[in-house]
Amino acid sequence: MNEIWAEAQRRGITRLCHFTKSANLAHILATGEIRDALTLRAGTEGFRPTDRARLDGYPDHINCSIEYPNTWYLDRARAEDPHFQDWVVLLLDPALLSLPGAKFCPYNAARGLGGGVSSGIAAFTDLFQAAVSGNARRVRTVRHPDWWPTDDQAEVLLPGPIPLRHVHGVVVKDAAQAELEHYRLTQHLDMGTVLPPLIIAPTLFDKYLLSQNVRAGHRPAELPFIP
């Protein structure tokens, strides 16, 4: 067994998260994979990247987080593209942590132009240090869950593309968005057979509330969407 995956299981990690504009969801379902920025730029299809600059220096990797989304960066991305306010969070198989080429950063990977990004079991366990200094010093308390990195913005960079079979769910912010996405993708685009389950979880889109809940050891409510 891969030692990174073994450590992830020991910590109780159940999923990875990758957020994207909801406008990109149909493309992901149609192609059957989440494509990295480098692959998308080389293609002929139009796409709206979440991070145009990719200051982390790894455009051939897909930015993910452990267990819950990096809502701090999501909030900034939403502000930079006011015309596209609907986003989704894709829930990924945590076994992807053991992919060859997977990299880790204990804080936002763009900080220091990717200088904190590394690979291997030591880099993975660094996500859970007693204290991490990214844009500020973050510390673990007795209530901090084993499965949650010390810094909310800790990142996992997975080599792309990621096949759709590794996407186990799609999180939306409210029932209205769930209904819209379901109608658009099943009725209008006829993608119902490949659409992963939709999940409603408003807290996953609120940076303050999510951080407060998770750091206190509480898992926010998540409700399955039933058409």
Domain residue spans of the chain: 3-168
Q: Any known ligand binding at 41?
A: no
Q: State mean pLDDT over 98-108.
A: 95
pLDDT at 53 over 80: no
Other beta carbons within 10 Å of 136: 8
Reported pTM: 0.93
Q: Any known ligand binding at 203?
A: no
pLDDT at 47 over 60: no
pLDDT at residue number 1:
54
pLDDT at residue number 159:
95
pLDDT tens profile 11-28: 999 999 999 999 899 999
As a whole-number percent, the residues of the chain with pLDDT over 90 amount to 77
Q: Any known ligand binding at 18?
A: yes
- Virtual CA dihedral for 55, 56, 62, 68, nearest 10 degrees? -100
Query: Using CA atoms, how far apart are residues 100 and 102, in angstroms rounded to an integer?
Result: 6
Q: Any known ligand binding at 104?
A: no
Q: How confident is the model at residue 84 (pLDDT cuts 50, 70, 90)?
A: confident
pLDDT tens profile 121-171: 999 999 999 999 888 899 999 999 999 999 999 999 999 899 999 999 999
Q: How confident is the model at residue 78 (pLDDT cuts 50, 70, 90)?
A: confident
Write out the catalytic residue numbers.
54, 155
